[in-house]
Amino acid sequence: MGAVVRIVIVEDNLTFRETLELLLPLRQGIEVVASVERGADGIEACARLDPDVAVIDYRMPGLNGAQTTAALLEASPRTRVVCLTASVTGEEVELVRKAGAVACITKDRSLDEIVEAIRAAARAPE
C-alpha cells in the first residue's frame, strides 16, 4: 500500500454514496477509484482496479454484504473490506466477518471514525 488509500464504494443509497464520494477524498490520503450501486458491480470494479479497501453496504438489492465480500475477495484477494451499514445485527456482523471483512461499522459514525476504519483496514495484514 502506498501513501494513498485507494477505495471502491459499494452502496445502493445514491445520496449516501455521493456523500462518501465527495467527502472521503477531502481527507488526506484517500482516493475513491470507483463508486457503484450493487455488489456485482463492486466485485467487477475491485477485480479490475485492485483497490486497497472496499467500503460496502450490507443491505443491498441482489447480493448482500456478506455475499459481496466473499466474492469480492475471490476476485481481488489483496483488497480489504469495511462493511458500512445503517444498522447491523450480531448475525450480520458474524456473516460479514466470516466472509472476510476486517470491520463492520454503522453509518451513523462520524466521518473521522469512517476514515479511521478505512485506514485501519488498509493496514490490516493479508
- With 70 as the cut, is the pLDDT of residue 20 above it? yes
Within a 10 A sphere around the Cβ of 43, how many other Cβ atoms? 26
C-alpha cell at 123: 493496514
- Please give the Cα distance from 87 to 113 (Å, whole number): 16
Concatenate the DSSP letters of all residues of 49-100 into one string. Answer: H--SEEEE-SS-SSS-HHHHHHHHHHH-TT-EEEEEESS--HHHHHHHHHHT
Give all domains of the chain, ordered by start, each with its CATH number: 5-123 (3.40.50.2300)
- With 80 as the cut, is the pLDDT of residue 1 above it? no
Question: Cα–Cα–Cα angle for 111, 98, 84, nearest 5°?
Answer: 15
Q: Assign 50 a pLDDT band (cuts: 50, 70, 90).
A: very high
Quick one: CA torsion of 71, 75, 78, 84, rounded to 10 degrees? -40
CB 59 within 8 A of CB 51: no
Its pTM stands at 0.93
